[in-house]
Amino acid sequence: MGGLVMINQVRFGRQSAVRIFAQEYSDANLPLEGVGEYAPSFIITKLGAKVNRALFGGVIDRFERREGDNGPTYSGHLRDATGGVHRFQIAPFQPELHADAEELLARFESGDRFLMMMVGRARWFESDDGGIFTSFRAEEFTTVERNVYVNWLVETSAATLRRLDAYSLSLDSENNNESLKSAGVPSDLIEGMILAKDHYSSFDPENYKVGVLQSLSMALSSNTEIEQMISLSEENISNQDFEDENQVDSASVSNESIPSGDVDDVILNTIKNYSNPDGTPYDTLVLACVEAGFSRESSEDAIEDLRDIKCEIIEPRFGFFQILD
C-alpha cells in the first residue's frame, strides 16, 4: 500500500516535503500564491516554514467516503503527538489512490485505529472575514509501524526546534535578509521568516516547545504512549467533528441532517442568487451547502469539482466564484 517506506527516502521533483506537526500547520493563516502556471504556492507558518508539501503522520482519527458524480471523495484526520489534527482529502481525480483508500476505509470502519504517514500538498480557503483554513490534498500514504512513526517524531521535532531557534535569533534583528543572516538564521529559513514576521504579530512560541517535548516523550516511551494515543482515538472517534474547518455555528446545524437536493444545484443556485458583482464568497457557498444538509468536506470538494472538472464555475478572484457563461 502506498509509496512511503522509509521517511528519509521521500523525494519530490518540485518541492521537498516539510516535516511539520499539526499544531504549527493549523495555526498558519498566511498563503503565498505562486506567480505563473507552474509556480508552487505555500502556506507560511508563524515559525517561517514554507509549506507546499509536507510529510506528516499520526493515528487515523476520522475517515469517510462520499460518492459524487465524478467518483468518490475521501476525507480524514491524522492526530499527531502534539494533540493537533492534520486534515486531508483524496479527490475523485486521484483514482490511483482510491484502492488503497478503500482498504484503509474498511479497516477504519471495522473499528481499527492505526498509525499512518502521508505526503500531502498544502490547501486552504479564505472565509468572508479573511480567515484562512488549511488542509492537505493527499499524494502518498501508507500505514506504518511504531518505529517508523517514532523516527518521524524525532525528525519533525528536530525540524521544529530548528525553526524555533531561528525565530528566537530573529527577535532582536531587523526583518531583512542581511540582518537575519547576520543574526545566525539559516539561509534556507530566511525568506519564510521575513514573510512570517511581516504578517504575524508577536507571539509566544511556548506551545510549540511543549509540542516538541510531548513528541520526544512519546518517541522515548513509544510503545506505551503511542498505544494510549491509539486507544484515545478509538474511544473518542464517534464524537469527533471537523469543528475547526467549519465556519458554521455547529449548534445550528444537526450532524444528522439529511441533504436536501443536489450539492451542485445548491452551489449554482447560491451563486445565481448572490448579488455581489465580484462573485460569491467561498464560505457563503459552504454555509449554503451545510444548511442544506451536506458535510463541509463534500461541499468543499463539490466547489472544486464544479470549478476544475465540470468547468461550470470560475474563480476570477481568489475566494470568490461566478458561473461560467
Indicate if 202 and 295 belong to the same structural domain.
no
Indicate if 138 and 259 belong to the same structural domain.
no
> What are the residues facing 67 on neighbouring strands?
72
pTM over 0.85: no
Contact 35, 173 (CB under 8 A): no
Domain boundary at 210, 241, 272, which? Answer: 241
Indicate if 100 and 130 belong to the same structural domain.
yes
At 38 the pLDDT is 66
Indicate if 204 and 266 belong to the same structural domain.
no
Q: Which three cell numbers stand for residue 55?
A: 510529510
Indicate if 221 and 138 belong to the same structural domain.
yes
Q: Which three cell numbers stand for residue 45?
A: 507558518
Query: 158 vs 29, 127, 151, 201, CA distance in Å?
Result: 23, 33, 11, 25
Indicate if 28 and 100 belong to the same structural domain.
yes
Indicate if 110 and 209 belong to the same structural domain.
yes
Indicate if 184 and 315 belong to the same structural domain.
no
For residue 157, the domain's CATH number is 2.40.50.140
Give the Cα separation of 140 and 118 in Å (integer).
6
Indicate if 63 and 122 belong to the same structural domain.
yes
Can you give the pLDDT of all 325 residues of the chain as single tens digits? Answer: 543 333 333 333 446 789 999 999 999 999 988 776 667 889 999 999 999 999 999 999 899 998 887 888 899 999 998 888 899 999 888 899 999 999 999 999 998 888 999 999 999 877 767 778 889 999 999 999 888 999 999 999 999 999 999 999 999 899 999 999 999 999 999 999 999 999 998 889 999 999 999 888 888 875 555 555 555 554 544 444 444 444 433 333 333 345 557 899 999 999 998 877 778 887 788 888 887 888 777 788 888 888 877 888 987 776 778 898 7
At 34 the pLDDT is 73
Give the domain extent around 156. 1-241
Indicate if 180 and 48 belong to the same structural domain.
yes
At 318 the pLDDT is 63
How many helices (H) and strands (E) would you count in the chain?
Answer: 10, 12
Contact 313, 307 (CB under 8 A): yes
Give the H or E element holding residue 222: helix 222-236
At 304 the pLDDT is 82
At 284 the pLDDT is 81
Strands 71-79 and 115-126: unpaired
Torsion of CA 275, 276, 278, 284, to 10 degrees: -90
Q: Which three cell numbers stand for residue 79?
A: 492526530
Indicate if 174 and 56 belong to the same structural domain.
yes
Indicate if 122 and 216 belong to the same structural domain.
yes
Q: How many domains does the chain have?
A: 2
Helices (H), 252-295: 263-273, 282-291
Give the Cα separation of 129 and 287 in Å (integer).
14
Other Cβ atoms closer than 10 A to 176? 11
At 224 the pLDDT is 55
